[in-house]
Structure 1
Amino acid sequence: MKLLMVISAVTLLTACGTHKVDVERELEERTFVHSEKQTEEIRYTIYTDKEVYQEGEVIKAWTESMYVGEKEEIVIGHGGRIYYNHIKPLDGDFELEGAMVLPLLYTTLTKDIPHREDFVKTGAWDADSKENEFWEDFFADEDLMLPPGVYELIAEPSFHYSKEGKEVHVSEGISRIITVED
């Protein structure tokens, strides 16, 4: 009888702990606004900490890549970063196309464990353009802050992996729409 009580207590405590983890995960998912896509084996997501920012406020955005296939892990090949980051104003007149450094790197994705990469400013501009001063100021600060407007933050994956002897390339982008108010 004591054994039955111990088993019941352990089961109850385990179930409560599992529920707590599920609730914490659900709250975390609700806290961050996201958009995701999934291939047969990899789920990738772009997150922002909210949808509306105030002018001068730091925009927190990141991507996560998670292997969801049958193996324990998979190795992906990519440029300097897994994602090209683009910023596209939906109501403005500039667009920041991402740039990528070229060395081939490899990242191991472990099954069901997200690999995080912060959304960073990348790109180049024409030094002779009338917007030169804007771009110099924009890139001088490491934090992502944008003038008032509506923007699409685009994370375009550019990685590959091998499956059953065939090369699989992932390149379909994901994006989040944010608003910066003055």
Structure 2
Amino acid sequence: MKTWLMLVCSCLLLFGCNKEEYVDESQGVYPETFEAETEDFRYELYVSQNTFSYGQPIDIIASLTYIGDEEEIVISHAASPFYFPMKETTRAYDIDYPMNQPLVSTTLKKDEPLTKQYVPSGSYSDEDSEEYRSFMEQFLAGNYPVGNYIVNGSVQFNVDNSPININGNIGFQVK
């Protein structure tokens, strides 16, 4: 019965709570925060502000909070349950978020958020254009090039072998 209930909750999560925030790229309007709640979990994704100057530190943080009935719950996930792939829309560059894929278990205590701050990541190769390589070198050094960024954040984990995936978008500009 518990497995069936988890399957139903997972389906509701995947189809009912996987909303995406609207980002109006043409107007430069970006939501700074995203929050989604299921019966047992709350996922939050936020950036400290929506406009930055070149070279200014950019804080992007995600959190997952267990809000269910138990005192704690064990989740399993890759190296982290948090993903931060981005798109720089001025140049139409996709910035991937590579991650090791071991199976890790984390115990979440009720109402105590698990948080992760984004650290610039991504990759490029000799086959990429010189412009893209230069962009990624600046980006990976923490100097986000001038442009518009959308963070396609998500939290992905399993509870009792039932997958849970919550997605949300936030954005910011670098001037």
Instruction: Give TM-score, length-normalised by structure 2.
Output: 0.74
Quick check: 1:42–1:69 contact (8 Å CA) kept in 2? yes
Query: 1:172: how far off?
Result: 2.7
Unmatched segments (≥5 aa) in structure 2: 1-31
Aligned partner letter, 1:76: I
Matched to 2:174, the amino acid is V
For the 8 Å contact 1:85–1:121, the answer to whether it is kept is: no
Counterparts of 1:156-175 in structure 2, within 5 Å, are: 156-162=154-160, 167-175=161-169
More helix by share: 1
1:113 Cα deviation from its structure 2 partner: 1.0
CA pair 146-89 structure 1, distance change in 2 beyond 3 A: same
Q: 1:16 matched to which residue of 2? A: none
Equivalent residue letter for 1:103: P
Provide Cα deviations, 1:44-66, integer angstroms capped at 9, x if missing partner.
10121111111111110110100
SS in 1 for 2:102: coil
Q: Contact (CA 8 Å) 2:135, 2:145: kept in 1 or not?
A: no
Is 1:180 paired with 2:138?
no
SS of corresponding position for 1:171: strand
For 2:158 and 2:123, the matched residues in 1 are separated by 25
Q: Which stretches in structure 1 are left out of the alignment for 5+ residues?
A: 1-32
TM-score by length of 1: 0.72
Corresponding residue to 2:153 among 152, 155, 171: 155
Tell me if 1:134 matches 2:120. Answer: no
CA distance in 1: counterparts of 2:59 and 2:113, whole angstroms: 17
CA distance in 2, matches of 1:107, 1:95: 30
Partner of 2:81, secondary structure, is strand
Q: How many angstroms apart in 2 are the aligned matches of 1:48 and 1:137?
A: 19
Which residue number corresponds to residue 62 of structure 1? 61
